[in-house]
Amino acid sequence: MVTSTTRPAAPTAASAPARPLRRRRVTVGSTALYTVAALAALLWLVPLLWAFATSVKPEGETTAMPPAWFTPDATFEAYAQVLGRGDIIRWTMNSLIITVIVTALTLVVCVLAAYGFSRFDFRGRSWLFALIIGGILIPPQTLIVPQFVLMTQLGLVDTYWGVALPQVVAPVFVFILKRFFDAIPRDYEDAARIDGAGSVRVLWSVILPLSRPILTAVGIFTFIGAWNNFLWPFIVTNDPEMMTLPVGLGTVLGQYGIQYAQVMASAVLGAIPLLIVFLLFQRHIVTGVAGAGIKG
């Protein structure tokens, strides 16, 4: 008599009991951290809300005591006056062109310098890198006079290049990018060189794709700094047609006296492009900053 033994069927995905989802443990430290972050975000948001609330008030209510957040007579007259009496479209285009030039040149120069210091060994490398890092300690205001003299001699006053070129120098970004490049494993580079890739090809096809987060963060910080820069564009531009947005708004508001609704309206208009850039690339900013901190 032959007896057959049947093996128990293996549990399938449908029959297997579902694993309970692990809930993230809420600790006192994480709660305190999120609370502090929320308060910091609220403190950052309050001035923007106050600026917008003031910009839509009639001019007579902007100095009323006690101050009020909202008014039943909200109006956009201040925006109409700011947009109507100043060539704000021209100034915005000037700021955009100059900011794009500064951002592009800064990325190109800093990437090439950082790649050279990270991957090549040449005579005087450490001294030259120390000299570049020492440039971080030099206040930009001390270079205004020689830069203005140089731009005058080159005939670049009241030109896009005259405003953009002195803003390209960024030793701190060379330092950050070099540290990031140093942390990239050389195995990828060696594999590319075995396939016949040269230094430029390695940089373009290996280093830059792996460095996309930090490059995005550097580009956005450069964009914000160039957009908000007031002192140098104010010094090197005399023609109203070449003024940037911060310089143009400051000149117009100074000419017509202090009108708080219009001051706040101009501040809101100047901040809108930066808010758009930040909202579009906030994930890349966080990733790039975190990567710069970890990779070092």
pLDDT digits (tens, 9 = 90+) for 151-173: 899 888 888 998 999 888 788 88
Q: How confident is the model at residue 101 (pLDDT cuts 50, 70, 90)?
A: very high
Please report the DSSP string for 118-163 in residue order.
HH---TTHHHHHHHHHHGGGS-GGGGHHHHHHHHHHTT-TTSHHHH
Q: What span, in angstroms and rounded, lies between the C-alpha atoms of 138 and 134?
A: 7
CB 221 within 8 A of CB 177: no
Which pLDDT value is given to residue 284?
A: 63
Please report the DSSP string for 84-118 in residue order.
HHS-HHHHHHHHHHHHHHHHHHHHHHHHHHHHHHH
Which pLDDT value is given to residue 86?
A: 62
Q: Which is nearest to 222 in space by CA: 173, 269, 180, 273?
A: 173
Please report the DSSP string for 37-89 in residue order.
HHHHHHHHHHHHHHHHHHHTS-GGGTT-SS--S--TT---HHHHHHHHHS-HH
* Superfamily of segment(s) 79-295: MetI-like (1.10.3720.10)
Distances, alpha carbon 165 to alpha carbons 102, 135, 174, 221, in Å? 7, 16, 17, 17
CA 36 to chain centre: 23
Q: Which is nearest to 245 in space by CA: 237, 156, 277?
A: 237
pLDDT digits (tens, 9 = 90+) for 12-37: 544 445 555 555 566 777 788 888 88
> Is residue 133 predicted with pLDDT exceeding 80?
yes
Q: What span, in angstroms and rounded, lies between the C-alpha atoms of 238 and 244?
A: 11
144 against 14, higher pLDDT: 144
Q: How confident is the model at residue 4 (pLDDT cuts 50, 70, 90)?
A: very low
User: Which DSSP symbol is given to 258?
Assistant: -
pLDDT digits (tens, 9 = 90+) for 193-246: 877 777 778 888 888 888 888 888 888 888 888 888 888 888 888 888 888 888
Q: What span, in angstroms and rounded, lies between the C-alpha atoms of 57 and 260?
A: 9
Which pLDDT value is given to residue 161?
A: 92
CB 229 within 8 A of CB 167: yes
Which pLDDT value is given to residue 296?
A: 39
Which pLDDT value is given to residue 24?
A: 59
Distances, alpha carbon 139 to alpha carbons 131, 171, 198, 220, in Å? 15, 12, 38, 22
pTM (predicted TM-score): 0.72
Tokens at 38, concatenated: 């929320």
| Domain layout of the chain by residue ranges | 29-75, 79-295
Q: What span, in angstroms and rounded, lies between the C-alpha atoms of 133 and 178?
A: 11
- Rounded to a whole number of angstroms, the distance between the first and last alpha carbons of the chain is 74
pLDDT digits (tens, 9 = 90+) for 37-81: 888 878 877 877 877 887 777 776 676 677 777 777 777 777 777
